[in-house]
């Protein structure tokens, strides 16, 4: 039977755990979102080995994100570090993929090369379109690099700052509540 004192401790613990609970929610959402992108990448990249590799790595990152989010739910102190490293790994993979696609687009022949060679008049009309296509490819992958740096870098920084909130929560919360949470009961 819970006494009024126990109920007050539960309310206090819930208030103290706000930032930790938010990090758990972020990790859970992010893990499933990355997993969804992994599935889409795998399905759309069936004929492209680099896209398949990216999809597989994203699936692994999603798995680690969800697992580390569950570890954080059990109040494990290493979980935020795992989440931060996982975000940095995702950033590195996205950047490597974008750089490889940029290099490939620069060294590959034009998508319009056959048309340009077959008909010089058509070739003159396709040159600006070809230039625009190459330019858009550069912008797309440069944007992916920027997003990876900002989004995943920001998420890594966010997770990197969570241990202090977790430690404060563990230090200020009664043991019975912590044990209850580690057993899987949510506040």
- Model confidence pLDDT, tens digit, residues 53-66: 999 999 999 999 99
**Within 10 Å of residue 170's Cβ, how many Cβ atoms?**
15
- Contact indicator for 34, 66 with CB cutoff of 8 Å: no
Q: Sketch the domain layout of the chain as residue ranges.
A: 7-182
pLDDT at 54: 93
Handedness of CA 156, 161, 162, 167 (dihedral sign): positive
CA distance linking residue 53 with residue 38, whole number of Å: 10
Total-model pTM:
0.86
Task: Tell me what pLDDT residue 173 has.
Answer: 95
Helix, strand, coil share of the chain (percent; to 5): 85, 0, 15
**CA 38, CA 52: separation in Å to the nearest integer?**
9
Q: What is the pLDDT of residue 39?
A: 97
- pLDDT of the residue at 45: 87
Reported as half-sphere exposure (CB side, CA atoms, 13 A), residue 109 has a value of 6
Task: Output the pLDDT for position 117.
Answer: 73
Q: Which two tokens stand for residue 1?
A: 């039977």
Spans in the chain with pLDDT lower than 70? 115
């Amino acid at each position: 039977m819970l006494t009024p004192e126990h109920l007050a401790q539960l309310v206090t613990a819930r208030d103290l755990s706000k930032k930790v609970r938010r990090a758990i929610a972020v990790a859970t959402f992010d893990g499933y979102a990355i997993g969804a992108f992994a599935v889409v990448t795998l399905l759309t990249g069936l004929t492209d080995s680099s896209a398949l590799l990216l999809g597989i790595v994203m699936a692994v990152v999603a798995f680690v994100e969800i697992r580390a989010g569950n570890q954080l739910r059990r109040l494990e102190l290493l979980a935020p570090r795992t989440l931060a490293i996982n975000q940095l790994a995702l950033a590195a993979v996205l950047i490597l993929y974008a750089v490889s696609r940029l290099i490939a687009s620069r060294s590959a022949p034009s998508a319009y090369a056959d048309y340009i060679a077959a008909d010089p008049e058509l070739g003159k009309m396709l040159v600006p379109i070809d230039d625009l296509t190459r330019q858009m490819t550069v912008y797309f992958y440069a944007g992916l690099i920027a997003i990876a740096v900002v989004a995943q870098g920001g998420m890594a920084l966010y997770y990197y700052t969570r241990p202090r909130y977790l430690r404060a929560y563990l230090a200020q919360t009664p043991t019975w509540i912590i044990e209850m949470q580690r057993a899987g009961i949510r506040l």
